[in-house]
Protein backbone atom coordinates (compact mmCIF):
# COMPACT_ATOMS: atom_id res chain seq x y z
CA UNK A 1 0.00 0.00 0.00
CA UNK A 2 2.80 2.40 0.97
CA UNK A 3 4.61 1.70 -2.31
CA UNK A 4 1.39 2.51 -4.21
CA UNK A 5 1.12 5.89 -2.44
CA UNK A 6 4.78 6.64 -3.08
CA UNK A 7 4.37 5.94 -6.83
CA UNK A 8 1.26 8.13 -6.95
CA UNK A 9 3.08 10.95 -5.11
CA UNK A 10 6.07 10.79 -7.49
CA UNK A 11 3.76 10.83 -10.53
CA UNK A 12 1.99 13.98 -9.27
CA UNK A 13 5.35 15.69 -8.64
CA UNK A 14 6.52 14.80 -12.19
CA UNK A 15 3.33 16.19 -13.78
CA UNK A 16 3.62 19.45 -11.78
CA UNK A 17 7.27 19.83 -12.79
CA UNK A 18 6.45 19.37 -16.49
CA UNK A 19 3.59 21.88 -16.29
CA UNK A 20 5.77 24.53 -14.66
CA UNK A 21 8.53 24.07 -17.32
CA UNK A 22 5.97 24.61 -20.06
CA UNK A 23 4.45 27.78 -18.62
CA UNK A 24 7.89 29.18 -17.74
CA UNK A 25 8.98 28.83 -21.37
CA UNK A 26 5.94 30.67 -22.69
CA UNK A 27 6.21 33.39 -20.04
CA UNK A 28 9.87 33.93 -20.82
CA UNK A 29 9.03 34.29 -24.53
CA UNK A 30 6.52 37.00 -23.70
CA UNK A 31 8.88 38.69 -21.25
CA UNK A 32 11.82 38.77 -23.66
CA UNK A 33 9.67 40.26 -26.41
CA UNK A 34 8.66 43.17 -24.19
CA UNK A 35 12.26 44.37 -23.71
CA UNK A 36 13.03 47.67 -25.34
CA UNK A 37 15.66 46.96 -28.00
CA UNK A 38 16.94 49.30 -30.65
CA UNK A 39 15.82 48.08 -34.03
CA UNK A 40 18.16 49.00 -36.85
CA UNK A 41 15.60 49.12 -39.66
CA UNK A 42 12.76 51.55 -40.22
CA UNK A 43 9.72 51.09 -37.94
CA UNK A 44 6.59 49.51 -39.42
CA UNK A 45 4.64 52.71 -38.92
CA UNK A 46 6.82 54.39 -41.54
CA UNK A 47 5.52 52.09 -44.25
CA UNK A 48 2.21 52.78 -45.95
CA UNK A 49 1.29 49.09 -46.14
CA UNK A 50 1.73 48.43 -42.44
CA UNK A 51 -0.73 49.70 -39.84
CA UNK A 52 -0.05 49.86 -36.14
CA UNK A 53 -2.53 49.73 -33.29
CA UNK A 54 -2.09 49.88 -29.54
CA UNK A 55 -3.22 46.86 -27.58
CA UNK A 56 -6.08 48.97 -26.18
CA UNK A 57 -7.39 49.56 -29.70
CA UNK A 58 -7.71 45.87 -30.32
CA UNK A 59 -10.72 44.75 -28.37
CA UNK A 60 -10.09 41.27 -27.02
CA UNK A 61 -13.45 40.05 -28.30
CA UNK A 62 -12.53 41.19 -31.81
CA UNK A 63 -9.21 39.33 -31.96
CA UNK A 64 -10.56 36.44 -34.06
CA UNK A 65 -11.73 38.89 -36.74
CA UNK A 66 -8.13 40.10 -37.07
CA UNK A 67 -6.89 36.67 -38.18
CA UNK A 68 -8.54 36.05 -41.53
CA UNK A 69 -8.06 34.10 -44.76
CA UNK A 70 -9.62 35.47 -47.95
CA UNK A 71 -9.36 34.78 -51.69
CA UNK A 72 -7.03 37.03 -53.67
CA UNK A 73 -9.03 40.08 -54.78
CA UNK A 74 -8.99 41.45 -58.34
CA UNK A 75 -6.99 44.52 -57.33
CA UNK A 76 -4.42 42.50 -55.39
CA UNK A 77 -4.04 39.95 -58.19
CA UNK A 78 -3.40 42.70 -60.71
CA UNK A 79 -0.48 43.86 -58.58
CA UNK A 80 1.07 40.48 -57.83
CA UNK A 81 0.59 38.21 -60.84
CA UNK A 82 3.89 38.99 -62.55
CA UNK A 83 5.74 35.69 -62.97
CA UNK A 84 3.25 33.66 -60.95
CA UNK A 85 3.47 29.89 -61.47
CA UNK A 86 0.41 29.27 -59.29
CA UNK A 87 -3.23 29.75 -60.23
CA UNK A 88 -4.99 32.56 -58.44
CA UNK A 89 -7.51 30.08 -56.96
CA UNK A 90 -4.68 28.19 -55.32
CA UNK A 91 -3.52 31.25 -53.39
CA UNK A 92 -4.97 32.92 -50.31
CA UNK A 93 -4.55 36.37 -48.73
CA UNK A 94 -3.96 36.22 -44.97
CA UNK A 95 -4.26 39.08 -42.50
CA UNK A 96 -3.00 38.66 -38.93
CA UNK A 97 -1.89 40.69 -35.94
CA UNK A 98 1.70 40.59 -34.75
CA UNK A 99 3.73 42.15 -31.99
CA UNK A 100 7.09 43.81 -32.35
CA UNK A 101 9.75 44.85 -29.85
CA UNK A 102 8.09 48.29 -29.71
CA UNK A 103 5.29 46.70 -27.63
CA UNK A 104 2.73 47.61 -30.28
CA UNK A 105 0.34 45.44 -32.24
CA UNK A 106 0.82 45.60 -36.00
CA UNK A 107 -1.41 44.43 -38.81
CA UNK A 108 0.44 42.01 -41.07
CA UNK A 109 -0.48 40.33 -44.33
CA UNK A 110 0.94 37.72 -46.64
CA UNK A 111 -0.03 35.57 -49.60
CA UNK A 112 0.25 31.78 -49.32
CA UNK A 113 -0.92 28.56 -50.93
CA UNK A 114 -4.49 27.65 -49.91
CA UNK A 115 -3.17 24.30 -48.63
CA UNK A 116 -1.40 25.95 -45.70
CA UNK A 117 -3.56 29.06 -45.18
CA UNK A 118 -5.46 27.90 -42.10
CA UNK A 119 -2.32 26.39 -40.57
CA UNK A 120 -0.40 29.63 -41.01
CA UNK A 121 -3.18 31.66 -39.40
CA UNK A 122 -3.14 29.27 -36.45
CA UNK A 123 0.66 29.57 -36.11
CA UNK A 124 0.63 33.38 -36.33
CA UNK A 125 -2.19 33.53 -33.78
CA UNK A 126 -0.12 31.48 -31.34
CA UNK A 127 2.90 33.71 -31.98
CA UNK A 128 0.71 36.77 -31.34
CA UNK A 129 -0.64 35.30 -28.10
CA UNK A 130 2.94 34.76 -26.93
CA UNK A 131 3.95 38.32 -27.99
CA UNK A 132 6.59 36.81 -30.29
CA UNK A 133 8.33 39.74 -32.05
CA UNK A 134 7.86 40.06 -35.81
CA UNK A 135 9.03 43.39 -37.14
CA UNK A 136 7.24 43.67 -40.46
CA UNK A 137 4.82 41.63 -42.58
CA UNK A 138 3.79 43.41 -45.79
CA UNK A 139 3.36 42.04 -49.31
CA UNK A 140 6.45 41.40 -51.48
CA UNK A 141 5.20 43.37 -54.50
CA UNK A 142 5.80 46.50 -52.36
CA UNK A 143 9.47 45.63 -52.78
CA UNK A 144 9.02 44.79 -56.48
CA UNK A 145 9.22 41.08 -55.53
CA UNK A 146 12.92 41.78 -54.88
CA UNK A 147 13.84 39.28 -52.18
CA UNK A 148 17.09 41.03 -51.23
CA UNK A 149 15.18 44.28 -50.63
CA UNK A 150 12.50 42.69 -48.47
CA UNK A 151 15.05 40.69 -46.48
CA UNK A 152 17.06 43.85 -45.76
CA UNK A 153 13.83 45.48 -44.53
CA UNK A 154 13.32 42.43 -42.26
CA UNK A 155 10.00 41.71 -43.96
CA UNK A 156 8.34 38.41 -43.13
CA UNK A 157 6.75 36.87 -46.24
CA UNK A 158 5.52 33.68 -47.86
CA UNK A 159 4.50 33.82 -51.55
CA UNK A 160 7.03 35.48 -53.81
CA UNK A 161 7.40 34.54 -57.51
CA UNK A 162 11.14 33.89 -57.57
CA UNK A 163 13.78 31.16 -58.00
CA UNK A 164 15.78 29.38 -55.30
CA UNK A 165 18.68 31.58 -54.23
CA UNK A 166 21.57 31.11 -56.70
CA UNK A 167 19.69 28.74 -59.06
CA UNK A 168 17.08 28.75 -61.87
CA UNK A 169 14.77 26.39 -59.96
CA UNK A 170 11.47 27.91 -58.82
CA UNK A 171 11.43 28.37 -55.06
CA UNK A 172 8.77 26.95 -52.75
CA UNK A 173 7.98 30.63 -52.16
CA UNK A 174 6.81 30.80 -55.77
CA UNK A 175 4.07 28.33 -54.83
CA UNK A 176 3.35 29.98 -51.48
CA UNK A 177 4.57 26.96 -49.54
CA UNK A 178 7.40 28.52 -47.48
CA UNK A 179 7.64 31.36 -44.96
CA UNK A 180 10.69 33.58 -44.35
CA UNK A 181 10.48 34.92 -40.79
CA UNK A 182 12.37 38.04 -39.63
CA UNK A 183 14.88 37.43 -42.48
CA UNK A 184 17.44 40.13 -41.74
CA UNK A 185 18.30 38.54 -38.39
CA UNK A 186 17.97 34.99 -39.73
CA UNK A 187 19.97 35.01 -42.97
CA UNK A 188 20.73 32.47 -45.65
CA UNK A 189 24.35 31.40 -45.30
CA UNK A 190 26.58 29.17 -47.41
CA UNK A 191 30.26 28.40 -46.95
CA UNK A 192 32.02 27.01 -50.05
CA UNK A 193 35.07 24.73 -50.33
CA UNK A 194 37.08 27.53 -51.98
CA UNK A 195 36.68 29.56 -48.77
CA UNK A 196 34.13 31.99 -50.15
CA UNK A 197 30.89 32.62 -48.31
CA UNK A 198 27.47 33.84 -49.30
CA UNK A 199 25.14 35.77 -47.00
CA UNK A 200 21.63 36.88 -47.92
CA UNK A 201 20.63 39.56 -47.35
CA UNK A 202 24.05 41.09 -47.86
CA UNK A 203 23.55 43.29 -44.78
CA UNK A 204 23.06 40.30 -42.45
CA UNK A 205 26.71 39.38 -41.81
CA UNK A 206 26.46 40.41 -38.10
CA UNK A 207 23.79 37.72 -37.63
CA UNK A 208 25.62 34.77 -39.21
CA UNK A 209 27.29 33.83 -35.90
CA UNK A 210 24.44 31.99 -34.17
CA UNK A 211 26.30 31.63 -30.86
CA UNK A 212 25.66 35.36 -30.27
CA UNK A 213 22.48 36.62 -28.61
CA UNK A 214 20.36 39.15 -30.52
CA UNK A 215 16.71 40.01 -31.08
CA UNK A 216 14.56 38.02 -33.54
CA UNK A 217 17.05 35.09 -33.59
CA UNK A 218 15.47 31.75 -34.53
CA UNK A 219 17.05 28.59 -33.13
CA UNK A 220 15.73 25.18 -32.14
CA UNK A 221 14.64 26.52 -28.73
CA UNK A 222 12.55 29.22 -30.36
CA UNK A 223 8.74 29.31 -30.23
CA UNK A 224 8.45 29.84 -34.01
CA UNK A 225 10.65 26.78 -34.59
CA UNK A 226 8.47 24.78 -32.21
CA UNK A 227 5.21 25.86 -33.86
CA UNK A 228 6.25 25.57 -37.52
CA UNK A 229 7.95 22.17 -37.12
CA UNK A 230 5.04 20.75 -35.11
CA UNK A 231 2.63 21.89 -37.86
CA UNK A 232 4.39 20.09 -40.73
CA UNK A 233 7.15 22.51 -41.79
CA UNK A 234 10.89 21.85 -42.04
CA UNK A 235 13.40 24.50 -40.96
CA UNK A 236 16.24 25.76 -43.23
CA UNK A 237 18.46 26.09 -40.14
CA UNK A 238 18.62 22.27 -40.03
CA UNK A 239 20.02 21.99 -43.56
CA UNK A 240 23.58 20.65 -43.97
CA UNK A 241 25.01 22.14 -47.21
CA UNK A 242 23.83 25.65 -46.32
CA UNK A 243 21.76 27.36 -43.64
CA UNK A 244 18.56 29.30 -44.22
CA UNK A 245 17.62 30.35 -40.70
CA UNK A 246 14.59 32.43 -41.77
CA UNK A 247 13.02 29.63 -43.85
CA UNK A 248 10.19 27.25 -42.91
CA UNK A 249 8.83 25.15 -45.78
CA UNK A 250 5.80 22.88 -45.98
CA UNK A 251 6.77 19.20 -46.02
CA UNK A 252 3.50 18.01 -47.56
CA UNK A 253 4.30 18.74 -51.22
CA UNK A 254 7.71 18.35 -52.88
**Which residue number places its CB atom closest to Zn ion?**
247
- Angle (CA) 78-84-86 rounded to 5° is 110
Q: Of 195, 167, 181, 174, nearest to 244 (Cα)?
A: 181
CA distance between the termini of the chain: 57
By C-beta, is 132 or 188 nearer to Zn ion?
A: 188
By C-beta, is 33 or 246 nearer to Zn ion?
A: 246
Shortest distance, position 79 Cβ to Zn ion, whole Å: 21
By C-beta, is 102 or 198 nearer to Zn ion?
A: 198
By C-beta, is 33 or 150 nearer to Zn ion?
A: 150
Shortest distance, position 143 Cβ to Zn ion, whole Å: 14
Residues in contact with Zn ion by CB under 5 A are 178, 180, 247
Shortest distance, position 183 Cβ to Zn ion, whole Å: 8
The residues with which 99 forms a beta bridge, in sequence order, are: 105, 133
Shortest distance, position 244 Cβ to Zn ion, whole Å: 6
Shortest distance, position 213 Cβ to Zn ion, whole Å: 23
By C-beta, is 105 or 150 nearer to Zn ion?
A: 150
Amino acid sequence: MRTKHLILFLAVIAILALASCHSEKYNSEAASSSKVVNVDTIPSTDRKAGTTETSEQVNASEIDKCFVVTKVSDSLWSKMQTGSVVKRDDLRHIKVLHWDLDKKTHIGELICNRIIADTLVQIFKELYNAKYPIQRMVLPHLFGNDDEAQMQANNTSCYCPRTVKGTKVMSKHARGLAVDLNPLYNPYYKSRKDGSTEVQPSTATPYVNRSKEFSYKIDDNDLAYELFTSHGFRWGGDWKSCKDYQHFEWKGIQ
